[in-house]
């Protein structure tokens, strides 16, 4: 069975574990460097990207994770996880580092503060004809994508219409929103399929 680790330093860890298992994968928590070698792929939950950066380094996970990603390990990042996978950040802290791998520029807290959180239906072709309810909480958006990055979804209504909120580049997937909180596990199932197809 495909074993997918969930980075367990902050964020909706339990919800991602449940979503992955519901979609047919074995899911384990990743808190220590030795656990990085035991997984086939990684999910990076939401949270606060600057805090996650510090915790990943404090727990000795930064280099092992960065190395596995550079070797082609599949990964999915939601919200702050998108920031952790991005090669470039706008409005980040001066000392903030990312694990990198996705040729994108993200803007932190692009939609505003906690009070500006919102939900919207998105039509994502890769997930089928039914719209996906997307929950945005202090979310980033993608300012720029490299030539090898596929845009999977954009905001469809409101003042942020057209902003990129889901991308894929080979084995790397990222969303600005939190699919783990809605009970709709199609994003996780899609990621598992990406992992299994290699």
**Residue 178 annotated in active site:** yes
42/7 Cα distance (integer angstroms): 7
Strand partners, 41: 4
**Residue 185 annotated in active site:** no
Which residue ranges of the chain lie beneath pLDDT 50? none
191/172 Cα distance (integer angstroms): 9
CA nearest to 142, candidates 158, 165, 160, 159: 165
CA nearest to 42, candidates 90, 51, 52: 52
Cα 118 off chain centre by? 18
In the 8-state DSSP scheme, what is residue 49? H
Structure tokens at 189: 């199932």
Structure tokens at 9: 């330093």
18/16 Cα distance (integer angstroms): 5
Among all chains, which residue has been given the structure tokens 């490299």? 146
Task: Kindly report the length of the chain.
Answer: 198
Q: What is the CATH number of domain 3-197?
A: 3.40.50.880
Q: Which one of the listed residues 15, 16, 120, 178 is annotated catalytic?
A: 178
Strand partners, 76: 43, 173
Ranges of each domain in the chain: 3-197
Among all chains, which residue has been given the structure tokens 């991308």? 167
63/66 Cα distance (integer angstroms): 5
The predicted pLDDT at position 117 comes to 80
Q: What percent of the chain has pLDDT over 70?
A: 97
**Residue 150 annotated in active site:** no
Q: Which one of the listed residues 120, 180, 185, 188 is annotated catalytic?
A: 180
User: 36 and 61 in contact (C-beta within 8 Å)?
Assistant: yes
- Collapsing DSSP to helix, strand or coil, 127 comes out as helix
Q: What pLDDT digit, counting tens, does each position of 158-197 carry?
A: 888 999 999 999 999 999 999 999 999 999 999 999 999 9
Q: Which one of the listed residues 79, 120, 185, 188 is annotated catalytic?
A: 79
């Amino acid at each position: 069975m495909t074993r997918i680790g969930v980075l367990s330093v902050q964020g909706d860890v339990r919800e991602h574990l449940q979503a992955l298992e519901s979609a047919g994968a074995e899911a384990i928590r990743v808190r220590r460097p030795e656990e990085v070698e035991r997984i086939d792929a990684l999910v990076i939950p939401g949270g606060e990207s600057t805090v996650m950066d510090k915790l990943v380094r404090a727990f000795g996970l930064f280099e092992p994770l960065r190395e596995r990603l550079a070797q082609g390990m599949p990964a999915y990042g939601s919200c702050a996880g998108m920031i952790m996978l991005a090669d470039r950040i706008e409005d980040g802290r001066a000392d903030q580092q990312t694990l990198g791998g996705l040729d994108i520029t993200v803007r932190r807290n692009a939609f505003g503060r906690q009070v500006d959180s919102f939900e919207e239906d998105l039509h994502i072709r890769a997930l089928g004809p039914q719209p996906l309810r997307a929950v945005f909480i202090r979310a980033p958006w993608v300012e720029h994508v490299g030539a090898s990055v596929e845009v999977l979804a954009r905001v469809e209504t409101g003042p942020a219409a057209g902003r990129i909120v889901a991308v894929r580049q080979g084995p790397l997937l990222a969303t600005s929103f939190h699919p783990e909180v809605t009970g709709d596990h199609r994003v996780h199932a899609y990621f598992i399929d990406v992992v299994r197809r290699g």
